[in-house]
Structure 1
Amino acid sequence: MASAPVIDITQETAVSSAKDIAWTGKVHSYRPKGDWRTRVDAGINFHDDAIAELDPVDFEVIRQKLWTINMAHGDTITRISGSPVLATLDFNMSILTEDAEVVLNAPYVQFLNAGAPLGIRYILEHYSKLPGIDDGDIYCCNDPWIAACHQMDVLFAAPIFVEGRLFGWVANAGHQYDLGGIVPGGWPQNSEDVHSDPVVLPPFKLVEKGVMRPDLEAMYLRQSRLPDMVALDLRAQIAGVVFARDQVMALCTRFGATTVKAAMRRMLDQAQQNFQRKLNAIPDGTWTETRYIDEPLPGIRHNQRTQLTVTKRGDRLAVSNAGTDAQTIGTNGIPFVTWAGSITGIVSVSMLFEQLFAYGGGERQIDYEPTPGLLTCVDHPAAVSGGILHSVPMMNAMQAILARMMACDPDTKEDLVAPCADYVLPVLVGFDDRGNFFGQAILDCFACGSGARSFGDGIDSGGPTFSPLSMILNVEQIEQWYPLMCLYRRSDRDSGGAGKWRGGNGLRVAITPYRAQSMSIVTNTGGQGATTQNGQGLFGGYPSPASHYLIRHDTDLNERMVARVLPQGAIDLTGDTVWLSGKSNGTSLGHGDVFEVRIGGGGGYGDPLERDPALVERDLADDAVSQDAAERIYGVIAGDAEATTARRKALRAERRAWSRQETDTAAATAATGELDRAVHEYVIARDVDGERILACAHCGERLAGYSGSYKAGALMHEGPVTQIPSAPDPARFIDDPMVLRRFACPGCLTQIATEIARAEDAVFPEMRLGLN
């Protein structure tokens, strides 16, 4: 392994111009051309017939039955799999049309099966003649430049044939624990390129006409440190697609294939039309979100920038990664399929949930405009397996953008949610007391705090927005499978972002080795989850603080246990303290040592000084917020209404001393004659003196022209990230100075925005209404 500090992260790959891009899956990711079906073998007979008139009762029965099939597909996997990873529902599945349009996605990890349409179209385009696509076949793929989010999220896809014609597909993608690579578990943070990652397998036919090929299964299992577990997971995922395929075929027998196909097409059309309706209710404009990613390799104390830009024009979205840093060696990159899945996944849970996640219809309205060779669309041979957690800050970026867009319409504003926590993922590896190798990912981040809403608090340990059904394992299960003891798993005070509505708090979890010959910790973290922030705040709400990994060596735990006194926190124990960075590849954990991971909370919503003092006092009583946060951020003096009023008045007055921004340079927009329109929790668009402007919704103060940045007319305070309650100092692990910026209306002094940025970076525009 190369010494991390000598890596030159300035060795960037060249970014191709648009005319040179060959989206073949070789260097750049696979993206099928518009005429891809012309390269499908003529021997494939597509079933694309549908009845013209569909009975509404038949439609609803078929629609609900397809949903039930998809959900039972997930149940089938968990019933057969013996993996603790799949037991947490770290998978997703879908039902697709004959040409791989997603009819139904399931409410598990949203982005995980985003590669199904790409992988199936790749199979149709490249393998429809040899080795062919037949009834009973199942293809497998974990190639990130074709269909997998990373190598461990393995795709299984089965065609559905009805009367000899290709009717549709079913597919799933699930995280298989170990498929090789230089670090157990499949998240190697020290990979300089893909050749140190787990094995990459382009699509291949693992099951042929209903029979698994033993030669290919042996090849597949040979890569793993835990072949028995992987063999069981392999069969679980195969069983899932077999079950779903057979159930769809039975549905066709019951109602007729042309009736079922008509229902599938209506589901897609309804989702498209519903998405169009929601988009048309939002003003045209461009929204951007910037997030940073720490440590290209362990020990490199710098971060890299990503930017997501969404332009809404009419009923269409154009999505770009322009402004993102070029890929380098290391593990900060994700492929196109993960980036695109981060977008569709958030659209599904935010705007298509009532359409049963039929995101194929919604995706018809999205134009992806990625530049390859950037960190959010990396080219081969970038290391991608260890970078999979960076999909979460990308989803959180889309969550923030979509929330800001949805705030422009009263109907969709009720559905918006602030981003949840970024993902922290410790992996334990070693040998138990019988000499057996073990590996366990602690997936407790599936109990992170959810983001606040426009009308209420986030849910403590509510889980990530992007995975509605994922869960954490019972402690007893983990202790039964692995040589460890869980000391506590408890709610974490101040881990949610402050706001008018508070982000949900996360957890603190601690374990110690128990009957282990050896144990070490591998840490993996998305974005800046271990240095700077977790969930981004919305409309003046605070971001949630960073998480942490902490080891206490040579503690007095045994003495406490003998005295029957369990520790309430790892920091309370005696012993030496080691803080682990977001990326590390093996720190020993010995007898009597304690490891604690802090799971983050969700972002806050709105100015904290607008929070009902009674809610703050309730939070104090529940130990959900600290007294410091109550007084310093919320301005609440418990039990003293007069002192609270005075404290809040003083905190607002402090904002008057914040600095003025430069005058907005956007060209003036003529008055439109429209009524006042909310475009933000605290910003309205209105006509004033012949001009369309952005003004404070509370006091009417002019902030910018209609096409300008509302932050330009705001007061701004720039300070350390540690102003966030319970936030650590990012300088522990990164050298790039990070700051928290807060923006307030100059008139009424309402806090209208927050952002975290490198000190050297300009203020983020966030929203520009109107189009050039």
Structure 2
Amino acid sequence: MKAGADFDPIELEIFWSRLLSVVDEAAVALLRTAFSTVVRESNDFTVVLMDADGDSIADTNIGTPSFVGILPKTLRQCLAQIPIEDWQEGDCIVTNDPWMTAGHLLDLAMLAPIFRHGRLIGFSGSMAHLPDIGGALFSADCREVIEEGIRIPPTKFLRRGEENHDLASLIRANVRVPEQVIGDFYAQVAAHAVCARKISDFFEVSGLEDLTAISAALQHRADRAMRAAIDDLPDGTYRSVLIADGYDGEETRIACAVKVTGSELHVDYAGSSKQIARGLNSVMNFTYALSVYPLKCALDPTTPRNEGSYRSIIVTAPEGSILNPIYPAACNARQLTGHLLAGAIYKCLAQVIPDKVIAESGTAPTLRSVFSGNDRFGNRFSQVLFGSGGMGASARSDGHSCTPFPTNTGCGSIEAFEVAAPLIVWRKELIADSGGAGQYRGGLGQEIEVEVVANGDIQLSLMADRQKNPPEGLMGGRRGAAVSIRRQDGSEPHPKSRSVLSPGQRLILRYAGAGGFGDPSKRAHDEMLRDLKDGYVTIAGLERDYGVRLEEIAGESAVRR
């Protein structure tokens, strides 16, 4: 058997590419067989390959970063409840316990053992956002997790390849769209089957007998790369505070301290808000994922990621805080808190590496709207609109418009959205002047107008922030435009609660623009003219945000020509 040092760099890179293709092919299987648009259109899922010790070897490139580093933690907790000797070939173990998975009941984790010649050599793992999980609609206003849906402890969904009918029947009886939910369960099953088959193919061509040596080598390489990146930072503690709207006047406060000591980095959230009796709480797994991911993006974006990528990073938050809540805290809308962490971390890192971070994004946190009821044929539907605001500007370029960060769940096809629910999207357009001014402009937000065309009332659940505290800029950049939500008649629904929409009513969602980067007075006038021509800014916006008049910059441009 090879040891880690026995792989030459070229061989290691080839093996890494093949292992990555294994999880990517499994991910494509999940994507193409999923019943819900949450997965097949918006990519809210992940697939991970782990070794026999439960350490991740490869994560798919087409999943969401909200799940980074979580499945190995889930596996270890499941093994504590289902001993390893009880895991058989063909088994698929599932759980959606928020404290074991990704922070809310809608994310289903599935784990399967991988055997070779009768010997356990690894595990495949997947996580996918279900279209429904019973209980209250996907929402922010519950007071306990008990209200938010069915909580599944580690349980075998498949036993030696056969469905656990008791579990499947229980789920079907308690969700709004059972065909979609169970269909997505089986999409995950399909991904695990593909992963096992492709790993078998990998062993045939690689000459390896198990994953032990290659896993150790890849983790060592990832660990070494991240430690080198951290070691380049000056030692010290860098602090920031980020304020979000929170719930009904109770603001969310994220206090962040990034401590660098040699090749190790500690993110500490001491001083952040206490957990609240609403669904904004971010469990520690989710807090961890949304902390290590932006660090990976800023410090070591090109090295393949696996368990080794995060060994040099510690993430802590006080127990009982909004970033480490105690059961039975409500946590359905945990993204409204967890997505803020990238901005808090980047405000710290901007003090030492401003050229490697971005300003706050308009999808941090993301605005989610959920529509549920009966369509015109009496069929039940439950549909999430995954729109995006702008992405923060950097020291090198303007932010991307309508681009999600730190999540990467896309809006998907509007046509698919309209087919799945009695809704019509009349407008989906960029908002001029919504990107924060700066030497580099923040990405623009968008406005989406949705009409209800059902025969009766439908439920609406909104999960929104950034109405009072819009995304901030960096290094002198200005804030982006705030979120706003209104009905066509001008009335404003509660941004974090459930309400009702009647047939013919229209909902107008304005997604936030992102923060700018750098002093607005340093923005090139040619860029201002280009923005004006493209409709990204208005003449009034140029005068207000940049302090220039069109005649000045147009005259300069004409002289240069």
TM-score in terms of structure 2 length: 0.93
Distance in 2 of aligned mates of 1:158 and 1:210:
11
Partner of 2:180: 229
**SS of aligned partner of 2:361:** coil
Relative to structure 1, the CA distance from residue 164 to residue 55 in structure 2 (aligned partners, 3 Å threshold; closer, same or farther) is: farther
Structure 2 counterpart of 1:92: 46
Structure 2 counterparts to residues 144-155 of structure 1, below 5 A:
144-155=98-109
Rounded to whole Å, the distance in 2 between the matches of 1:102 and 1:342 is: 17
1:341 Cα offset (Å): 0.8
64, 81, 88: which is aligned to 1:126?
81
Q: Name the CA shift for 1:623/1:478 in 2 (closer, same or farther; >3 Å).
A: same
Q: Distance in 1 between matches of 2:31 and 2:418?
A: 19
Report the Cα distance in structure 1 between the residues aligned to 2:162 and 2:105, rounded to whole angstroms: 24
Structure 1 residues 301 and 492: alpha-carbon distance in aligned structure 2, compared to 1, 3 A threshold: same
DSSP 3-state at the match of 1:378: coil
Q: Could you tell me how far 1:515 is from its partner in structure 2?
A: 4.4
Instruction: Give the whole-Å Cα distance in 1 for the aligned partners of 2:73 and 2:552.
Output: 60
Q: Which residue of 2 is the match for residue 252 of structure 1?
A: 203
Task: Give the whole-Å Cα distance in 1 for the aligned partners of 2:25 and 2:343.
Answer: 29
Deviation at 1:317, TM superposition (A): 0.7
Residues 151 and 622 (structure 1 numbering): CA distance in 2 closer, same or farther, change over 3 Å? same
Which of 263, 273, 277 pairs up with 2:214? 263
Please tell me whether the aligned partners of residues 459 and 504 of structure 1 are also in contact (alpha carbons under 8 angstroms).
yes
2:288 to 336, 340, 344: 340
1:60 maps to 2:23: no
1:495–1:600 Cα contact (<8 Å) kept: yes
Tell me the alpha carbon deviations over residues 317-376 of structure 1, each in whole angstroms, 9 at most, x when there is no partner: 112110012213122211100100111222333334312333x21211012332210110
**Counterpart position of 1:606:** 518
Q: Quick one: structure 1 residues 243 and 404, their matched pair in 2 at CA, closer, same or farther if it must change by over 3 Å?
A: farther
> Is residue 326 of structure 2 the alignment partner of residue 379 of structure 1?
yes
Partner of residue 581 from structure 1, selected from 494, 498, 501: 494
Q: Can you list the C-alpha shifts for 1:621-673, whole angstroms capped at 9, x where unaligned?
A: 2111232331122122113149999xxxxxxxxxxxxxxxxxxxxxxxxxxxx
Specify the alignment match of 1:453 in structure 2: 394
- Pairing of 1:408-557 with structure 2 (within 5 A): 413=355, 415-421=356-362, 422=364, 423-445=366-388, 448-467=389-408, 470-525=409-464, 528-534=465-471, 536-552=472-488
Are residues 605 and 443 of structure 1, via their aligned partners in 2, closer, same or farther at CA, if it must alter by over 3 Å? Answer: same
> Do structure 1's residue 280 and structure 2's residue 231 form an aligned pair?
yes
Cα deviation, 1:190-238, whole Å, max 9, x if unaligned, reads 2111121112222112222222222222223322111111011110111
Correspondent of 2:250 among 296, 302, 318: 302
Letter in 2 for 1:350: A
Alpha-carbon distance in 2 for matches of 1:160, 1:380 = 33
Q: Rg: which structure is higher?
A: 1
Structure-2 separation of matches of 1:581 and 1:330:
14
Equivalent of 2:535, from 596, 620, 623?
Answer: 623
Offset at residue 493 of structure 1 (A): 1.2
Question: Within 2, Cα distance between the matches of 1:168 and 1:91?
Answer: 20
Q: Which amino acid is the alignment partner of residue 120 of structure 1?
A: L
Provide the C-alpha distance between the structure 1 equivalents of 2:163 and 2:240, rounded to a whole number of angstroms: 46
Other-structure match for 1:702: none
1:590-669 counterparts in 2 under 5 A? 590-591=503-504, 593-641=505-553
Question: Quick one: which amino acid aligns to residue 598 of structure 1?
Answer: R
- Deviation string, structure 1 residues 294-321 (Cα, Å, up to 9, x no partner): 344xxx3332322222111111011211
Contact kept in structure 1, 2:428 and 2:448, CA below 8 Å: yes
Q: Whole-Å Cα distance in 1 between the matches of residues 233 and 222 of structure 2?
A: 17
Q: What letter is aligned with 2:485? A: Y
Pick from 142, 145, 170 the counterpart of residue 124 of structure 2: 170
The alignment partner of 1:182 has SS state of coil
Q: Which residue of 1 aligns with 2:148?
A: 197
Instruction: Confirm or deny: 8 A CA contact 1:304 1:325 kept in the other structure.
Output: yes
Contact 1:94–1:106 (CA<8 Å) still a contact in 2?
Answer: yes
Secondary structure of 2:218's partner? helix
Deviation of 1:182 after TM superposition, in Å, equals 2.1
- In the other structure, the counterpart of 1:394 is 341
2:259 counterpart (292, 296, 311): 311
Return the letter of the residue paired with 1:303: E
Shift of 1:466: 3.8
Q: Using the alignment, how far apart are the partners of 1:633 and 1:149 within structure 2?
A: 39
1:104 alignment partner in structure 2: 58
> Aligned partner of 2:550: which letter?
A
2:442, 2:549 → 1: CA distance? 21
Aligned to 1:80: 33
Instruction: Give how far 1:465 is off.
Output: 4.4
Distance 2:130 2:274 in 1: 29
Task: For 2:178 and 2:241, locate their aligned partners in 1 and report how far apart those are by CA, in whole Å.
Answer: 40
Q: One-letter code of the match for 1:140?
A: V
Inter-partner Cα distance in structure 2 for 1:263 and 1:53: 10
Question: CA separation in 1, counterparts of 2:168 and 2:485?
Answer: 37
Quote how far apart the aligned CAs of 1:257 are: 3.1
Question: Which residue of 1 is the match for residue 23 of structure 2?
Answer: 70
SS at match of 2:258: strand
The Cα of 1:113 is off from its aligned counterpart by: 5.0
The 2-side partners of 1:405 and 1:150 are apart by: 35
3-state SS in 1 of match to 2:29: helix
Root-mean-square deviation (CA, aligned residues, Å) is 2.3
How far off its partner does 1:263 sit?
A: 2.9
Note closer, same or farther for the CA distance 1:520–1:502 as it changes in structure 2 (3 Å cut).
Answer: same
- Provide structure 1 residue ranges, at least 5 long, that are not aligned to the other structure: 1-47, 408-412, 553-575, 646-772
User: What TM-score does the superposition give when structure 1 sets the normalisation length?
Assistant: 0.68
For 2:281 and 2:96, the matched residues in 1 are separated by: 16
Which of 117, 120, 124 is the equivalent residue of 2:72? 117
Q: Secondary structure at the match of 2:333?
A: coil
Partner amino acid for 2:534? D
2:103–2:334 Cα contact (<8 Å) kept = no
Give 3-state SS (helix, strand or coil) of 1:510's partner: strand
Secondary structure (helix, strand or coil) at the match of 1:257 reads coil
Q: Name the SS of the counterpart of 1:577 in structure 2.
A: coil
Deviation at 1:179, TM superposition (A): 0.6
Higher relative contact order (CA 8 A, sep 6+): 2
Please give the alpha-carbon distance, in whole angstroms, between the structure 2 residues aligned to 1:400 and 1:170: 36
Task: Tell me which amino acid in the other structure corresponds to 2:14.
Answer: V
Q: Distance in 1 between matches of 2:450 and 2:426?
A: 6
1:588 counterpart letter in structure 2: L
Aligned partner letter, 1:493: A
Structure 1 residue 522, shift from structure 2 partner: 1.5
Amino acid at match of 2:535: D
SS at match of 1:340: helix
Alpha carbons 2:481, 2:514 under 8 Å: kept: no
2:342 touches 2:406 (CA, 8 Å); kept in 1?
no
Shift of 1:595: 1.0
Deviation at 1:589, TM superposition (A): 3.1
Q: Secondary structure at the match of 2:213?
A: helix
Shift of residue 519 of structure 1?
A: 2.5
Partner of 1:210: 161
**Of 158-167 and 148-157, the range deviating more from structure 2:** 158-167
Cα distance in 2 for residues equivalent to 1:440 and 1:111:
20
- Work out whether residues 499 and 604 of structure 1, in 8 Å CA contact, stay in contact via their aligned partners in 2: yes
Shift of the alpha carbon at 1:293?
4.1
Report the alpha carbon displacement of residue 384 of structure 1 after superposing the two structures with TM: 0.8
Cα offset, 1:260, TM superposition: 4.9
Deviation at 1:123, TM superposition (A): 2.1
Question: 1:485-504 CA deviation, whole Å, 9 max, x = no partner?
Answer: 11111111122221110111
How many Å separate the matches in 2 of 1:621 and 1:197? 48
The amino acid across from 1:105 in the alignment is D
